[in-house]
Structure 1
Amino acid sequence: MVLPLVPWPASVVPLDDVVPTVEPAKHGETLRTDPHLHAEGYRLRIDDSGVLIESSTPAGEFYARQTLAQLAAAGPLPGIEIRDEPRFAHRGIMLDVARHFHPVSTVEAVIRRASALKLNTLHLHLSDDQGWRLALASHPELTEAGSGTAVGGDEGGFYTRDDWQRILDAASAHHMTVVPEFDLPGHTHAIGLSHPELVADPAPSPHLEGPPPPKHEPYTGIAVGFSSLRADAPGLEPFLRDVLTELAALTPGPYLHVGGDEALGTDPADYRAMVSLITRLAAETGKTAVAWHEAGVADLPRGTIGQYWGYRDGSAPECAEWVEKTRRFVDNGGRIILSPADAIYLDMKPHADHPLGLTWANGPTSIERSYDWDPGTVIPGLAEDAILGVEACLWSETVRTLDDIEQLILPRIGAAAEAAWSRPAGTPERTVESFRERMPSH
């Protein structure tokens, strides 16, 4: 039986002994607590007596209601019983608010859309070469000097403390954890606008079409790899301790994301030393550090989480170095978040002539390609219990508005949601053909 559900539930049983459809207005709703259910799992039964939701936590009840809403959107409610729980604990979406700044109202809209697909994590990329987007009491100069512009010379912006609390409150109301990211030690040109003493001179990068941008001027392009902190800068450690400690204090939840990617002009020894320092300082706040897979070369606190952004076929030769660095997190007692760029980087064009998006991750990413992968096979030989979860990423080089966001994330965010929640790909319900049938009603 094909249901218009995203993600596909673990067990769906049509109830042939009751009326085939139920009219909610004529029947009551019953809630029950079952402590034996998975913390995010639920049972949903619809029959001629009404709707029964069983869960062990408010999150489970919330996800049951998302399924109920999906069923209602497709037509009359069927007589059915669903027993459902997620495959992975971390089911996320990343929104880049550094390349283009997005106001609180847009972030709230993304939270609503993502949580309706049972995603439970919002990763916010809060700093990059183009801007520093969160005001800190310890270092107000970061936003004063580094938040005014965006890609293409567009208007910048930043979140005040009240703005940040609004985002946290919206996430909590939708059972989502916020994972904040200050990207370090690369992607740090904006830091240099207020702290030139902490950053190295911009370095040549294969992604630049000309010379590196001046150290003292805002950067409004989209190239990467030219900026870095200085490993030998006096005052670097106190500065990093200040910003990471305040970020941890402002944000509930277990994680601090510290970046670690694309420091292409940084001396390898300096890179390893700075990543080791940054992740240690993050761990000293009581949080677990998360870093992009390049950081696997450093001496990391045990249990640091790695985020893999290589390609979905980790056995391909071009992925060998990425996979090796990713495995080091697991060897160090950590787990992995999978964000294969050629599947669930939502900023990739869905087709070649789409006006938004980029194509560097093996060209445009179609619905079929975004769906045709499985988390358990990306890193060859990686045990499933070493996978923390799945996270779709939306970088904002070409993304200015909520409409732009929706054009790029829908429907491919549904493919990421199914990969994160549902059975492995290839089982009868988990096919792209089934996905295409189920998504339009959603």
Structure 2
Amino acid sequence: MPLALLPWPVDVDIRPGALRLDISAPHHALSLARYDVIDGPPEGYRLDIADEGIRIQAASAAGRFYAQRTLLQLIARDDEGFFVPHVAITDAPRFEYRGIMLDVARHFHSVDTIERLVERAADLKFNVLHLHLTDDQAWRLALECRPELADRGSSSSIGGDPGGHFTRDDVQRIVAHAAAHHMIVVPEIDLPGHTHAVSLSHPELTADPVLAPSVLEVVEEFGGGLPRTGEPYTGFAVGFSSLDARAPGLEEVLREVFAEVARLFPGPYLHVGGDEALGTARSDYRAIVDMAVRAVMATGRTPAAWHEAGAADLPADAVFQYWGFLTPSTEHAELARRALERGGRFVLSPADAIYLDMKYDADTRAGLSWANGPTSVRRSYEWDPAGVLEVPEERILGVEAALWTETIVDEATLEHMVFPRIASAAEAAWSRPLGSAERDWESFRARIAGLGLLWERAGIRFARGTEIPWR
């Protein structure tokens, strides 16, 4: 059975023998290591384990942290106690951006839940937490400049479930906890669509709902009623809402909002959404996205957006997040091509691979299946970032797994949908391309099986499907 390492390192040299650890708990092994600073990739490290002891060399605190995560995965136990195999590992990430996105708009999730997600994602060497803070169902961020947005727009969730929002203190706590685990936080204020919650406090800034046939079909399938101006929306439908490009004062509001968001979240990126604006005319879409980008750039941050924003005039250093399928539709491929022409970098979140809210199979209790049907663990793994779009690898900033929460009502359900498929995204983001040493399905499923006991001890309520030979 291979070493239970996830994501798989760049270079692993397994040697005969093992080092016995005179410790009472696995985490105590970290204090036994000798640490040295070396030149090298910012997040890279070298880990050597021999009879002489444990040596970690890294160029930064982040590299040291990732070496410690690898060391903890290597610890095993038998009748004689804890031990680690003799091994030499040289490692550094393939991509600089390795993210997980949590939608807190469709269903609200607490700071405690987010902190636990950060810890578990960091164990797999993720370094970005993307929070989808606003949508049709709610506005989850309290702002001093516009307190009415959260006061009136956060009272509920899909299905009429309880709502909530984050205070400034909550945000500071999330940002600090992420930083302690070498993660940045990317806040998303979604526009010009997905903005029905804005209409609850600012109807003068929004257009009337556009009840296209696709909206009526979703209402018929999932219920939730039709969206109505001035009333909270608790259904599943998308694409009916829009900001009004001609609303007096809209750009001023966007400048105020993004200026305060930038003060709350110190990371390099501010996400402006831009997806599924089906009820927005093309010219209005461009005008509103341009307003938002100007507001972001005034803060000195880099704008990020879903790939539909390729239709607008984003700057050359913008980040485009692709959420289409592994085999892109003609429309999505064209939008990605336009983004590429503008010089943007890409974060890849293919929906039929690493949308973690997709069902595992037809019997999965929670989740949806619109992304080419259910997504098995194997399908979540067997793809490579370089093969999704005709984008040079140097233009791929990274990979991000996404968890939308239409059906994710509590932390137990969240964990079940995230684990084990989050490990697929971790390996796509960190390790060498699919088909390299140990980067194949059989190796991955065996290594996941080896981590099952660690996840169990950590209290993670993961999905125990039959694809993995759990032990």
Question: Which bin holds the TM-score, normalised by the shorter protein?
Answer: over 0.9
Distance in 1 (alpha carbons) for counterparts of 2:74 and 2:367 = 32
Displacement of 1:207 after TM fit?
3.1
Q: Which residue of 2 aligns with 1:41?
A: 44
Distance in 1 (alpha carbons) for counterparts of 2:367 and 2:77 = 31
Q: What is the one-letter code of the residue matched to 2:406?
A: E
Q: Which residue of 2 aligns with 1:8?
A: 8
SS of structure 1 residue aligned to 2:75: helix
SS of structure 2 residue aligned to 1:8: coil
Distance in 1 (alpha carbons) for counterparts of 2:280 and 2:149 = 22
SS of structure 1 residue aligned to 2:216: coil
Is 1:423 aligned with 2:437?
no
Query: Which segment is superposed worse, 413-422 or 301-310?
Result: 301-310
Q: Is the 8 A contact 2:7 2:124 kept in 1?
A: yes
Q: Which residue of 2 aligns with 1:269?
A: 283
Is 1:353 aligned with 2:363?
yes
Between the two proteins, the alignment pairs up a number of residues equal to: 433
SS of structure 2 residue aligned to 1:373: coil
Displacement of 1:171 after TM fit?
0.1
Is 1:409 aligned with 2:409?
no
Displacement of 1:74 after TM fit?
7.3
TM-score (norm 2): 0.90
Superposed structure 1 runs of 4+ greater than 4 Å apart:
none
Q: 1:229 to 1:323 in 2, by over 3 A?
A: same
SS of structure 2 residue aligned to 1:278: helix
Alignment map for 1:149-188 (pairs within 5 Å): 149-188=156-195
Q: Is the 8 A contact 1:283 1:301 kept in 2?
A: no
Q: Is the 8 A contact 1:73 1:441 kept in 2?
A: no
Distance in 1 (alpha carbons) for counterparts of 2:205 and 2:289 = 15
Alignment map for 1:45-60 (pairs within 5 Å): 45-60=48-63
Q: 1:179 to 1:7 in 2, by over 3 A?
A: same
Measured against aligned partners, the alpha-carbon deviations of 1:274-295 in whole angstroms (never above 9, x if no partner) come to: 1111112111110000000111
Alignment map for 1:72-91 (pairs within 5 Å): 72-73=75-76, 76-91=83-98
Alignment map for 1:33-432 (pairs within 5 Å): 33-34=37-38, 36-73=39-76, 76-205=83-212, 206-209=214-217, 212-314=226-328, 319-380=329-390, 382-432=391-441
Distance in 2 (alpha carbons) for counterparts of 1:331 and 1:65 = 40
Q: What is the one-letter code of the residue matched to 1:142?
A: L
Q: 1:166 to 1:29 in 2, by over 3 A?
A: same
Q: What is the one-letter code of the residue matched to 1:10?
A: V
Q: What is the one-letter code of the residue matched to 1:431?
A: D
Measured against aligned partners, the alpha-carbon deviations of 1:352-408 in whole angstroms (never above 9, x if no partner) come to: 11001000000000011000100001002x110000000000000000111111100
Distance in 1 (alpha carbons) for counterparts of 2:302 and 2:77 = 41
Distance in 1 (alpha carbons) for counterparts of 2:288 and 2:316 = 16
Displacement of 1:104 after TM fit?
0.2
SS of structure 1 residue aligned to 2:242: coil
Distance in 2 (alpha carbons) for counterparts of 1:312 and 1:2 = 29
Q: Is the 8 A contact 1:193 1:217 kept in 2?
A: yes
Displacement of 1:323 after TM fit?
1.7
Distance in 1 (alpha carbons) for counterparts of 2:216 and 2:117 = 31
Displacement of 1:159 after TM fit?
0.4
Query: Which segment is superposed worse, 273-282 or 51-60?
Result: 273-282
SS of structure 2 residue aligned to 1:325: helix
TM-score (norm 1): 0.96
Distance in 2 (alpha carbons) for counterparts of 1:70 and 1:327 = 40
Q: Is the 8 A contact 1:203 1:212 kept in 2?
A: no
Q: Is the 8 A contact 2:127 2:184 kept in 1?
A: yes
Displacement of 1:73 after TM fit?
4.9
Displacement of 1:140 after TM fit?
0.4
Q: What is the one-letter code of the residue matched to 1:208?
A: L
Distance in 1 (alpha carbons) for counterparts of 2:374 and 2:76 = 30
Displacement of 1:129 after TM fit?
0.4
Distance in 2 (alpha carbons) for counterparts of 1:360 and 1:198 = 31
Distance in 2 (alpha carbons) for counterparts of 1:411 and 1:207 = 33
Q: 1:370 to 1:213 in 2, by over 3 A?
A: same
The two structures, once aligned, show a CA RMSD in angstroms of: 1.3
